[in-house]
Amino acid sequence: MTQKSSTFIKETRERESWLTAAAEREGSNTKEAEGLLATAALFRGALEAVPVPDDAEEQSRQKAVAHMKQLHFERLQGARVPQAPWYLRLGRLMRFVFTFGRRR
pLDDT in tens, 90-99: 887 888 888 8
pLDDT on residue 94: 83
What is the SS3 string spanning 30-90?
HHHHHHHHHHHHHHHHHHHHCCCCCCHHHHHHHHHHHHHHHHHHHHHHCCCCCCCCHHHHH
Q: What backbone phi and psi angles, to 5 degrees, belong to 83? A: -110, 145
Rounded to two decimals, the pTM is 0.35
Nearest CA among 19, 21, 48 for reference residue 36: 19
pLDDT in tens, 1-36: 445 556 766 666 666 666 666 666 666 666 777 777
